[in-house]
Amino acid sequence: MLEGPLDDIGRRIVRAVVANRTIGLQVFGGVVRASGRPDVRTHLRELLAEQFVAPLSEMFDGPDAEMRAHLFVAQVTGLMFALSVYDDDYLAAAPADGIVEFYGASLQRTATG
C-alpha cells in the first residue's frame, strides 16, 4: 500500500482498506478485540510502528514528519476499526468511491499538508 507516489497515498490506502472491508479486515478486528492482552497490544503497536509509521516518517517531508506519520496511521486504523470492530453498517454499504474521495482527501492532507 505504501508503494507509489506520495501525491496520491491517501486515496490509494483508503482504496485498499475499502476493497478489503469484508474479508481482510476480519483479522484486524480480531487483533483489536484481543488487544486487552498486553502481549497482543504490544505486538500490534510494534507492527504498526515498524510496517507503517517508520516508512511513512521517511516518506513525509518536514520536521513534523513523524507526528504526521503517527496521525496518518491513527486515521487509517480508525477507518479499519469502524469497518471491522463496531461494524458501521453505513460505511459497510457506502459506495467505495465516496469513501475513497472523502477519507482519502483527509489522509492526503495529513501526508502532504
Could you read off the pLDDT of 38-96 as tens digits, one per residue?
888 888 888 889 989 999 999 999 989 999 999 999 999 889 888 888 888 999 899 99
Amino acid at 60: F
pLDDT of 2: 79
pLDDT of 23: 66
Domain ranges in the chain?
A: 7-112
**Hey, is 61 helix, strand or coil?**
coil
pLDDT of 109: 94
In whole angstroms, what is the distance from residue 10 CA to residue 7 CA?
A: 8
Contact 1, 90 (CB under 8 A): no
pLDDT band at 22 (very low <50, low <70, confident <90, very high): low
pLDDT of 60: 94
pLDDT band at 24 (very low <50, low <70, confident <90, very high): low
pLDDT of 39: 85
Amino acid at 52: F
More confident residue, 28 or 80: 80
Helix axes 24-33, 65-84, angle to 10 degrees: 100
pLDDT of 32: 73
